Structure 1
Amino acid sequence: MKEHYEIEVESYLVPPPTKEAAPQPDLLMRHSLDDAKSIAPFYGLFPLVNDLPNNEITRIAQSALISLKDYTSEDLIKIGNLLWKNNLQALKR
């Protein structure tokens, strides 16, 4: 969007919801994956997978995202693809 409009985009990492907000966290994560799998192909995003990325690679991807200062949509998509492909070594670079 930054490439097409005169806007500033800021990203914020937030913790998972509390137990009060999401009393069944495993079910929430399963539905989140199902939603992502059904939407992603329309945008040419990450490959279809059957499992969520593990916590370690998710934390490393989050670190990569927050370390970006001046980024493009392509940068964000690249990190997302590496996350969903479970490419830990590439994310660490």
Structure 2
Amino acid sequence: MTQTLNSLPLNYSPGILCIYSNHSNQVIIVRISNIPEWYFERVVFPGEQLLFEALPEAYLEIYRGDQNKAILAEKFPCSKLQTS
């Protein structure tokens, strides 16, 4: 199943279309927090794909649960997740 979510606010330059696939067997949280005045966070279930728009300089952070807290497991530049 692919989720399509909201795009960047209008005051940002044109973004890039990105895709992330959760190949794990865990529910994860993805987050972009390095863009000023914009915060992006979603839950992605096992086997799901997340289609989203981001700025090329953004980083997608992947958080996995560990006994009632989320731990940063991976971090990807959104420019590497760009799809055509």
Q: TM-score, normalised by structure 2?
A: 0.26
Q: Relative contact order (alpha carbons < 8 A, sep ≥ 6): 1 or 2 greater?
A: 2
Higher helix share: 1
Look at both structures and tell me which one has the larger radius of gyration over its CA atoms.
1
Q: TM-score, normalised by structure 1?
A: 0.24
Higher strand share: 2
